[in-house]
Amino acid sequence: MTAKPLAFVTGAASGIGFATAVRLARAGYDITAADVDAVGLQRTAHAVGEAGGTATTHAFDIRDDTALTGVLDATGTPAVLANIAGVGVAAPLADTSTEDWDRVISINLTAVFTTCRAVIPRMLAAGGGNIVNVGSVAGLVGVGNRAAYCASKGGVIALTRSIAADYAAKGIRANAICPGTVASEWIGKILADAPDPEATRRAMEARQLDGRMGSPEEVAAGIAFLVSDDGRFVNGTAFVMDGGMTAV
């Protein structure tokens, strides 16, 4: 039996990462699922199995280069790398602490750099591969009370384009997917902490032209397209999925 191609998904325990692991399993991949949430990863592994794939789970901080190298050595070279792990801080610049800034940048941007740096030589040795880094519309336009997050996602987009420029001729495609507001666990936490959760929800929904948030499964479908043969002419782009949020 021919071995299935491997997809390495970070942030795989919930939200877009969970949905992406399942969607790629349906597309014929086995999954290396990474996250700090060991319990959530077990749910991911079960869902991947139901989708026809096999998942190995690895609970570690994606900023830990030694752990990352160990996972890659143990699981093999991925044909797909989906960098989805991320965090956010709700604050304007003047209210953003250095600690919060460093945490957001280290997880959202620096870990994308180090993960790509670890995977790309392996992909080159294997003849190529696909990288999708999760950016955000917040990396394309300003979003209030998200100074560190906007900066990190703008960096992800620029880094992704640089990767495409460096490695397109060597068989690696790299794209940044840029969702609008997605009904994920992170948004749920923001709503729970808001003074008026229902008003905050309505405001978030209104940012999209169709008046609703996106779903993790919709973003996962975009990622599946980008790494598929149908997406082979898409490279170095900020692939926007925002319900029209940045159209006006």
Handedness of CA 138, 144, 149, 154 (dihedral sign): positive
119 phi, psi to nearest 5 deg: -90, -35
Catalytic residue among 8, 18, 29, 149: 149
Handedness of CA 30, 35, 37, 38 (dihedral sign): positive
SS3 9: strand
- Beta sheet of 172-179, edge-to-edge order: 55-59, 30-35, 6-10, 80-83, 129-134, 172-179, 238-241
How far is the C-alpha of 15 from the C-alpha of 179, rounded, in Å? 12
Q: Which among 111, 115, 109 is positioned nearest to 152, based on CA atoms?
A: 109
134 phi, psi to nearest 5 deg: -80, 110
User: Cβ–Cβ contacts within 10 Å for residue 17, how many?
Assistant: 31
How far is the C-alpha of 122 from the C-alpha of 117, rounded, in Å? 9
149 assigned to active site: yes
Amino acid type, 24: L
Q: How far from 185 is each of 86, 88, 122, 162, CA to CA, in Å?
A: 12, 12, 33, 31
Amino acid type, 145: N
Enumerate the active-site residues.
149
